[in-house]
Amino acid sequence: MVEVVIFDLDGTLAETEEVHRLAFNRAFADSGLDWDWDVPLYRELLKVTGGKERIAHFIERSGGRAEPAFVADLHRAKTAIYTGMVAAGGVPLRPGVREFIEAARAAGLELAIATTTSMPNIEALLGAALGPNWRAIFPVVGAGDMVEKKKPAPDVYRLVLDKLGKAPELCVAIEDSRNGVLAARGAGLRVVAVRSPFSADDDLAGAAVELPNCEGLTMALLESVTRPS
């Protein structure tokens, strides 16, 4: 029996990636940089998990040197822009997610989050989408800045499992990307994969169930628990 559903955040709970992209570009402009991450480029950069890591990768692939202090300052500015955009209500939950959350809670399932994004981003998004008491819905959260290695490493899922005190066989992960599926499977979890625009071409092999969106999550969860992990 499944006891816990562990959600990824960006692209899974909410379609955040376009807002992230716009926030990056605004931070670049505010810093006097002529960088412009268009949609095809950002889709490619998303294969690098973590905002700071993404900036560093972009600098290095362009032949530059990613100074840690510069990367951290630039990412901090981007986070402030992003959280302001989210707090203004610009990022709703994906269709089907709210209904799934309500059904899962009614069935007595626990809910948790395992993501590569940072706590300020999590707090901004869930505070805006679910209200100030969102922690009552997701009491256990694993964020990217809490672990040494981000997805596709399984570290954040192992952290969440430790906090929950649950065996991986009792949990199902909801993910939208190849890196997310690899991370969850690496921690021993079954995965329900939901496609999103920025991960439309990802190889989601290893997921027990693959969906084109989040609207069939409830039925997919029931199907996934009947399959071997």
Which sequence positions are flagged as catalytic? Answer: 8, 10
Could you give the C-alpha distances from 14 to 130, 152, 153, 176, 194, in angstroms and in order?
12, 20, 22, 11, 11
Q: Contact at 8 Å (CB) between 197 and 12?
A: no
Tokens matching residue 188: 């021993």
Please name the helix (run of DSSP H) or strand (run of DSSP E) that holds residue 185, with its range, or none: helix 178-186
Contact 33, 215 (CB under 8 A): no
Pairing assessment for the beta strands 4-7 and 171-175 based on DSSP bridges: parallel
Distance between CA atoms of 74 and 221, rounded to whole angstroms? 39
Look at the alpha carbons of 158, 164, 168, 171 in this order and tell me if their dihedral is positive or negative: negative
